[in-house]
Amino acid sequence: MSFKETIRSDPKWKKRIIGLMTAGNGIRPRWWIRHLVNPFFHKKGAGSRIFSRSRMDLVPYNQFELGKGSTVEDFTFVNNGMGQVIIGDHVFIGASNVIIGPVVLHDHIMTAQHVVISGMNHGFSEVDIAFRYQPSSVNEIEIGEGSWIGANAVITAGTKIGKYCVIAAGSVVTRSVPAYTMVAGNPALVIKQYNHLTKAWEKVE
């Protein structure tokens, strides 16, 4: 068993290490983690930009990558504490997004404002313990190249979205979406698919 696995499997050691690395009851990485440690573990591509008023709650023991030419707008919250966050090349993350790993965003994706993409769920199996204290589960989200996620959309854990999809504003995506598909609603349903022969988006009955 590796040192990393040993720490994760021992609750006492895990609590101590997290206490050294984070402040605010284990929520926010400490200054020395953000500025002195993370740059050696996380990759930031040429020409990428993270706006100053975004909140990057990143830890070194899980992967974070921001591809070349990508942008993270102000008031966006990114957290890799529960799993990796990989953002590809030339991705635009709009203002006030929430991205909680594990999440993989491929190249040329665009998100509008107030989008939530969370690969984590809080446990709720016990009704005599407050849900905030129950173990969390994770299931990776993957969004394909060139897709567009509309304002106020919610992408739930375990969802796979294909390339060049359109997720309409306000949608709640609870299941996977095939490539070249437009979905809308809560829960999101397929409303159009792109026809490569007619070169048009066509309604799905």
Active site residues: 122
**Token pair in block for residue 175:** 């299941």
Report yes or no: 83 and 106 within 8 Å, Cβ to Cβ. no
CB contact burial 92-112 (16+ within 10 A = b; e otherwise): ebbbbbbbbbbbbbbbbbebb
Tally of CB atoms within 10 A around 43 = 13
What sign does the CA torsion over 102, 105, 61, 77 have? negative
Report yes or no: 101 and 122 within 8 Å, Cβ to Cβ. no
68 vs 91: CA distance, rounded Å: 9
